[in-house]
Amino acid sequence: MKNNTWNKLLELKKLPFGSVHCIKDQDLEQEVSDIIVDVLQNDCMNDDEIHDKFTKEYKAWIMKTTSNQVIGLEKFQGLAFSNGTTEAFDKFYLKNRNRRLRYFRGEYMYHSIAAKLYFDQSVCIEDEPIQENDVVIFSLPFAGTGNEHVMTDSVLETCEALKVPVLIDCCYFGVCGGINFDFSYECITDITFSLSKNFPVQHLRIGMRLTKEDNDDALYVYNKNKYVNRLSAAVGLKLLQRYTADYNYQKYRAVQEKFCEILKVEMSKCVFFATSTESFEEYNRGIKENRLCFSKYLKSEMLPHNFYDKS
């Protein structure tokens, strides 16, 4: 079975601003390589507590941001190392498999694939009011724009009233500013974070899931058994100790602004995104905004040459 969403995204990846990944920084890539050597020499593989050290440091790191506002994260005491954010999605799907899956258009394509394969019913949030037997998953910042989705507050208020479980995917935390991360709603059961967009570690799969309670699901069980990727946790811990959650946003915001002025597009609150509703239609992902990603060009501060004559 071919998935049209996946095929469309593969085509987008071929475009100059279509592929989403961390900022291309060869110095940081070398630093990560050096960290890997260092943690292996210091026998991280025999550190039974490395994943606990990492998740505690990660949560503290998040709460120290000065570029964003984080509210209510202290209510989430259940911390688990996760292979990026994606692994935690599977656990959330499984936990809520008898509900109807809801997500925004323009979200991470993984949700649309899961909707087709694992759920009897699924409807995009924009298409129908949320109902009591639904389950909601969305990104903050929203993957489609790098800003808050315009329906974020209304969706959370509805889910709160109907007691609909919500997972918030914060994979772009660490490359954004001006976002209000309000986790105080009781309906929010799971929150996920990942370092894959912050640093060149996407293939190390360094993430964390937070919940309000430990329900002994599969992710908690293997964390308790210390059956985790210790190398990834050790590398992640070193990076958290060396860089703040605001490092990328503060370092590259001026370059992002310059690129947006050249291309005549709108700045996103995510430092490597820009949006347009009037140009760059080839980057459309099924919503009114066309999203561009600058992550390959921020370090050099240079766009591809053929974009400098746009006016």
Same domain for 148 and 286?
Answer: no
Residue 307's pLDDT band, with cuts at 50, 70 and 90, is confident
Q: What is the mean pLDDT of residues 20-24?
A: 92
Same domain for 66 and 132?
Answer: yes
Q: What separation in angstroms does the CA of 58 have from each of 27, 28, 200, 277? A: 23, 19, 17, 36
Q: What is the mean pLDDT of residues 5-30?
A: 86
pLDDT given at position 1: 39
Same domain for 198 and 110?
Answer: yes
Last residue of a domain, one of 242, 262, 293: 242
CATH at residue 223: 3.40.640.10
CB pairs under 8 A, 24+ apart, for 108-116? 108/139, 108/143, 108/169, 108/171, 109/3, 109/5, 109/6, 109/9, 110/86, 111/137, 112/3, 112/5, 113/3, 113/5, 113/6, 114/89, 114/90, 116/3
Tally of domains within the chain:
2
202-231 pLDDT tens trace: 999 999 999 998 889 999 999 999 999 999
Domain extent, residue 197, equals 28-242
Same domain for 16 and 108?
Answer: no
Same domain for 109 and 90?
Answer: yes
Same domain for 237 and 101?
Answer: yes
Same domain for 20 and 57?
Answer: no
Same domain for 46 and 155?
Answer: yes
Last residue of a domain, one of 203, 222, 242: 242
Same domain for 132 and 264?
Answer: no
Last residue of a domain, one of 208, 223, 242: 242
Question: Is 90 exceeded by the pLDDT of residue 4?
Answer: no
Same domain for 254 and 195?
Answer: no
Same domain for 78 and 167?
Answer: yes
192-202 pLDDT tens trace: 999 999 999 99
Q: What is the mean pLDDT of residues 258-287?
A: 96
Same domain for 16 and 61?
Answer: no
75-127 pLDDT tens trace: 999 999 999 999 999 999 999 999 999 999 999 989 999 999 999 999 999 99
